[in-house]
């Protein structure tokens, strides 16, 4: 009888130790609220990048410009992160724009931003998308696109050549993460969903930098 009791106690202790070990091992995951992802993300010449190619840590952001949380991150949070992590070569932020509805007007606007960005001149379209993204559905914006196509052969070829392959690929990558909304951030196999306050996002960056030390 005593032998059975001792065996049962030993089994309980083993289970308790396993549970405690799991709890300790996943403490950071619960605190920072990330999940593992096996989705492989590669850079593209069309990506909007902030930071050096030699930065220690790359953060991929999937963003929709009609998402107010994405715009708030890029307008408000990014300048603060720029000073702390990006300008000193610690972090590179790679923005991959998406439009899951594949609305023709928005797709054309995102492709124009990608084409201009490749040539280092996307500031104006970026400012428009961040301040008034719904302007891309206007007749004035459509006329601007027509003017670009008719007056700039290089941009016209970039806009019309590949049927928005870059944006569609970003859409597929985003869908592969099984995420429900934007923004999402993918960092070294960890996926963080939603906008966090700046202090919490800094905590995430510090954690991820610590992982690669």
Please indicate, yes or no, whether residues 98 and 166 belong to a single structural domain of this protein: yes
Residue range 190-195: mean pLDDT, rounded: 96
Q: Is 58 helix (H, G, I), strand (E, B) or coil?
A: strand
Answer whether residue 50 shows pLDDT above 60.
yes
Q: Are residues 11 and 71 in the same domain?
A: no
Number of structural domains found in the chain? 2
Q: Say what the pLDDT of residue 20 is.
A: 41
* Residues 39, 26 share a domain: no
Whether residue 80 sits in one domain with residue 56: yes
If asked whether residues 17 and 65 sit together in one domain, one would say no
Computed over every residue of the chain, the mean pLDDT equals 89
The answer to whether residues 98 and 118 belong to one domain is yes
- On whether both 114 and 19 belong to a single domain, the answer is no
Position 31 confidence tier, pLDDT thresholds 50, 70, 90: confident
Q: Is 41 in the same domain as 101?
A: yes
On the question of pLDDT at 6 being above 70, the answer is no
- What is the rounded CA–CA span in Å between residue 57 and residue 93? 9
Q: Are residues 26 and 89 in the same domain?
A: no
CATH code, domain carrying 134? 3.40.30.10
Q: β-strand 184-187 against 190-193: which pairing, if any?
A: antiparallel
Q: Residue 22: pLDDT above 50? A: no
Residue 121 domain boundaries: 34-211
Closest listed residue to residue 43, CA positions, set 93, 85, 86, 89: 93
């Amino acid at each position: 009888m005593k032998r059975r009791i001792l065996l049962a106690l030993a089994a309980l202790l083993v289970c308790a130790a396993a549970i405690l070990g799991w709890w300790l091992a996943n403490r950071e995951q619960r605190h920072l609220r990330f999940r593992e992802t096996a989705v492989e993300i590669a850079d593209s010449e069309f990506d909007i990048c902030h930071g050096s190619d030699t930065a220690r840590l790359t953060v991929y952001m999937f963003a929709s410009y009609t998402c107010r949380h994405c715009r708030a991150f890029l307008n408000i949070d990014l300048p603060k992160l720029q000073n702390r992590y990006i300008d000193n070569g610690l972090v590179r932020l790679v923005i991959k724009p998406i439009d899951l509805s594949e609305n023709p007007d928005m797709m054309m606007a995102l492709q124009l931003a990608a084409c201009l960005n490749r040539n280092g001149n996307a500031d104006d379209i970026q400012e428009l998308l961040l301040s008034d993204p719904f302007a891309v559905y206007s007749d004035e914006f459509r006329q601007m696109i027509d003017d670009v196509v008719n007056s700039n052969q290089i941009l016209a070829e970039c806009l019309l050549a590949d049927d928005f392959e870059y944006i569609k690929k970003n859409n597929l990558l985003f869908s592969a993460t099984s995420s429900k909304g934007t923004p999402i951030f993918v960092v070294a196999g960890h996926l963080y969903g939603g906008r966090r306050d700046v202090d919490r996002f800094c905590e995430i960056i510090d954690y991820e930098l610590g992982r690669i030390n």
